[in-house]
């Protein structure tokens, strides 16, 4: 439970961030708990995260602003492990370095700045630019479907009870929908307009279209990046991409290698028969 000072401070900061939202950032406290804030970072232009919709939480301690919040990003990004506490100078990993003058907007600006850098820390991961663009393109689908587990829309696909901190993996997008109802509606419209299969995040073909047209975000969904994304945890589609990209050269060329072995065996057998004859 928040102290009176923390409640007053966070209420004032909510008013400030509503009046003057920083670029690419929106945030609000949960209706049931002013210490639990939800944010959306929109990927800045000219970055691998462009137009991505990155949802996360700030969990403030009761003694805020004299102690920093725990920071998590739930949307798979190729930059952070989903729903994992991030070790930053503005997070609860470093309480002694936190400045009580910093506000919610300061914290989120710092998070966005760190996200668009390549600095590594606890909770961050490595990925290629292409992979991060694919995650950005799938971010709206992931947020509103819980990674394809929206059971009311996708028959046979059900929410799981596996919890990841305060967000449930495979919750069908329920938590996101509760905190961001307007954005959730926009996401479903976007998926419908771009023929996104809600269970997989893939584009479904349009049998009536002679020329395929879709938004830049939807176009990125067709890509199959190379490279790997280690330790992504709950990233559902990212795992499949990494497995495909990680196939060895031998597996990808096994047919030609098999034919080569057969041909070589036949040639050697013929040579041996000629010599003996």
Which residues lie below 8 Å from residue 18, measured CB to CB, with a gap of 6+?
28
- Please say whether the beta carbons of 38 and 55 come within 8 A: yes
Let me know whether 85 and 65 are in one domain.
yes
Let me know whether 187 and 73 are in one domain.
yes
- Please say whether the beta carbons of 47 and 64 come within 8 A: no
DSSP symbols for 264-275: HHHHHHHHHHHH
- Please say whether the beta carbons of 52 and 42 come within 8 A: yes
Let me know whether 169 and 274 are in one domain.
no
Dump pLDDT digits (tens) for 61-111.
999 999 999 999 999 999 999 999 999 999 999 999 999 999 999 999 999
Let me know whether 212 and 264 are in one domain.
no
Dump pLDDT digits (tens) for 154-198.
344 344 434 334 455 578 899 999 999 999 999 999 999 999 999
Dump pLDDT digits (tens) for 188-230.
999 999 999 998 888 888 777 665 555 555 566 655 444 444 3
| 152, pLDDT greater than 50 | no
Predicted confidence at residue 215, as pLDDT, reads: 57
What average pLDDT score do residues 252-274 get? 67
In percent, the amount of the chain with pLDDT more than 70 equals: 70
pTM for the model stands at: 0.74
Overall number of domains in the chain: 2
Active-site residue (options: 59, 70, 87, 174): 87
Let me know whether 53 and 175 are in one domain.
yes
Work out the pLDDT band at 254, boundaries 50, 70, 90: low
Q: Which range marks the domain in which residue 212 is found?
A: 1-246
| 250, pLDDT greater than 90 | no
Predicted confidence at residue 277, as pLDDT, reads: 59
Active site residue 214: no
We report the CATH number of the domain holding residue 115 as 3.10.110.10
Work out the pLDDT band at 241, boundaries 50, 70, 90: very low
Per-residue buried b or exposed e for 30-49, using 16+ beta carbons within 10 Å of the residue's own CB: eeeebbbbbbbbbbeeebbb
Cα separation, 180 vs 66, in Å, equals: 29
Let me know whether 264 and 211 are in one domain.
no
């Amino acid at each position: 439970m928040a102290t009176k000072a923390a409640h007053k401070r966070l209420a004032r900061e909510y008013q400030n961030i509503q009046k003057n939202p920083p670029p690419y950032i929106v945030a609000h406290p949960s209706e049931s708990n002013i210490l639990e804030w939800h944010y959306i970072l929109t990927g800045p232009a000219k970055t691998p995260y462009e137009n991505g919709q990155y949802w996360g939480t700030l969990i403030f301690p009761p003694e805020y602003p004299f102690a920093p919040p725990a920071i998590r990003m739930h949307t798979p990004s190729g930059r952070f492990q989903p729903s994992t506490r991030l070790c930053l100078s503005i997070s609860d990993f470093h309480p002694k370095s936190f400045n009580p003058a910093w506000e919610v907007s300061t914290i989120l600006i710092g998070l966005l700045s760190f996200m668009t850098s390549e600095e590594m820390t606890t909770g961050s991961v490595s990925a290629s630019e292409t992979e991060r663009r694919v995650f950005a393109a799938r971010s709206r689908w992931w947020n509103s479907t819980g990674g394809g587990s929206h059971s009311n829309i996708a028959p046979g696909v059900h929410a799981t009870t596996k919890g990841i901190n305060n967000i449930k993996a495979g919750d069908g997008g329920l938590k996101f929908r509760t905190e961001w109802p307007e954005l959730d509606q926009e996401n479903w419209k976007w998926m419908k307009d771009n023929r996104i299969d809600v269970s997989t995040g893939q584009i479904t073909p349009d049998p009536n279209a002679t020329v395929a047209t879709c938004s830049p975000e939807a176009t990125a969904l067709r890509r199959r990046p190379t490279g790997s994304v280690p330790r992504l945890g709950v990233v559902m589609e990212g795992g499949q991409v990494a497995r495909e990209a990680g196939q060895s050269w031998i597996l990808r060329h096994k047919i030609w290698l098999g034919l080569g072995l057969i041909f070589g065996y036949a040639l050697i057998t013929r040579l041996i028969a000629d010599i003996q004859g």
